[in-house]
Copies of this chain bind each other. A is one copy, B any other.
Amino acid sequence: MVVETELSDAEVDRIFHALADATRRDIVRRTLAGDASVTDLAAAYEMSFAAVSKHVGVLEEAGLVTRHPEGRRRMVRGNPERIARAQRLLDAYERLWRDRVGRLDDLLAEPTSTSTPA
């Protein structure tokens, strides 16, 4: 079983910020489907190599991809665990919502209010 390490606000910031860009999401998509070098990736977008390299850097900072030197190339690999982690973060919000709906149900079920919360 994998231990669920606590993510700091700053780390969560980085994860969502990294995902808030279509080019970066596409890089994640490609590198989850199969490894690709930075040049491979750069060929897919209408921007400079340097720009793509920066995007990969942002994703790496967020832990969404890792770079593995292989000769003179740097292979980029998507990290599915971080994606799963982001999903679990959103899970927590949905749980809050369900709790709220539960409380509203209680209110409707007990209009006599035997124990009204503050």
One of A21-29, A48-56, A66-74 at the interface: A21-29
B93:A29 contact, CB within 8 angstroms: yes
Cα-based distance from A70 to B46 in the complex (angstroms): 48
B12:A22 contact, CB within 8 angstroms: yes
Cα-based distance from A14 to B22 in the complex (angstroms): 11
Task: Say yes or no: is A32 at the interface (Cβ < 8 Å to chain B).
Answer: yes
Q: Could you give, for residues 1-39 of chain A, a 1 whenever the CB lies within 8 Å of some chain B CB and a 0 otherwise? A: 000000001001111110111100100110011100000
Q: Please report the total number of A residues contacting B with Cβ < 8 Å.
A: 31
Specify which of B17, B29, B97, B99 is in contact with A16 (CB 8 Å cutoff).
Answer: B17
A-B contact pairs, 18 of them (CB 8 A): A9-B22, A12-B22, A12-B25, A13-B20, A13-B22, A16-B16, A19-B20, A20-B20, A28-B93, A29-B96, A32-B93, A33-B96, A33-B97, A33-B99, A33-B100, A83-B90, A84-B94, A86-B90
